[in-house]
Amino acid sequence: MKKLERIDKLISNMGFGSRKQVKAYIKRGLVKVNGEIINDNSLKLDPYKDRIEFNNMEINYRRFIYLMMNKPKGLVSSTNDPSNKTVIDLLPDEYLVYKPFPAGRLDKDTEGLLLITNDGQLAHRLLSPKKGVDKVYYAEVAGYIDESYKERFWNGLVLDDGYQTLPAELEIVESDVISKVYITIQEGKYHQVKRMFESISTRVVYLKRISMGPLKLDDKLEPGQFRELTEEEITLLKTIEV
């Protein structure tokens, strides 16, 4: 059964003003529900079925937003930071009213797939180490990478703090002075990929996340660009077991 919501709370949550301001707007006859001006600010309705207008503009109610961003270098993956620009700073006001946050962090110098949402439960599904969701990164590392490394990554590496990593899959695209690889991990320890390569005395010089579980970075997105997830992508993410 769909949950009914109070009209004043709903319009306020959509960023049209405080509850008090919205009550005043209702009194002034600025709010219509299903074509009728309403004057009861405690009216309960189904935001997905009932048509709501504010100042003769239809309000499209959504509880959750899901954005895919190609995170650029130089921005931090948090909601606010006193000394750095954040990925949230790239979003226009129409999304900020939903109070979105990045689901998982990428380092300041890492690029690639970042899911930005206000759906905490979905973020948890993606990030919980217990769920074992694959995260695939493309990395460029300083030095040659030979086939024997694959086994070392698969067997788990010991990081600088003694932590033994879970099996990770290494695919070597090119072994050269700067080697190109894909690495798939299921956990998200601090600087994990960089520290895994450090443990084999190799430095990551470029890092980009390509996918998280079923969600793949849209290659049409330039660094700094974002788009809403499609219904299909949202459905795929929801198939990750809770």
Decide whether 75 or 106 has the Cβ nearer to ligand URA.
106
SS3 95: helix
Shortest Å distance, C-beta 69 to ligand URA = 14
Decide whether 22 or 106 has the Cβ nearer to ligand URA.
106
> For the window 202-241, what string marks contact with ligand URA as x by the rule CB under 6 A?
-----x----------------------------------
Binds ligand URA (CB under 6 A): choice among 191, 198, 199, 205: 191
Q: Strand 111-117 relative to strand 203-212: parallel, antiparallel, unpaired?
A: parallel
> For the window 15-54, what string marks contact with ligand URA as x by the rule CB under 6 A?
----------------------------------------
Q: Is 140 in the site for ligand URA (CB under 6 A)?
A: no
Q: Does residue 107 have an active-site annotation?
A: yes
Decide whether 77 or 117 has the Cβ nearer to ligand URA.
77
Shortest Å distance, C-beta 165 to ligand URA = 11
CB 178 within 8 A of CB 140: yes
Decide whether 115 or 193 has the Cβ nearer to ligand URA.
193
SS3 229: coil
Decide whether 22 or 215 has the Cβ nearer to ligand URA.
215
Stretch that binds ligand URA, among 6-14, 31-39, 191-199, 227-235 (CB under 6 A): 191-199
> For the window 92-131, what string marks contact with ligand URA as x by the rule CB under 6 A?
--------------xx--x---------------------
CB 219 within 8 A of CB 111: no
For every residue of the chain, which 3-state class applies, written as one string?
A: CCCCEEHHHHHHHHHHCCHHHHHHHHHCCCEEECCEECCCCCCEECCCCCCEEECCEEECCCCCCEEEEEECCCCECCCCCCCCCEHHHHCCHHHHCCCCEECCCCCCCCEEEEEEECCHHHHHHHHCHHHCCCEEEEEEEECCCCCHHHHHHHHCCECCCCCECCCCEEEEEECCCEEEEEEEECCCCCCHHHHHHHCCCCEEEEEEEEEECCEECCCCCCCCCEEECCHHHHHHHHCCCC
Stretch that binds ligand URA, among 24-32, 51-59, 145-153, 190-198 (CB under 6 A): 190-198
Contacting residues toward ligand URA, per CB under 6 A? 106-107, 110, 191-194, 207
Active site residues: 107
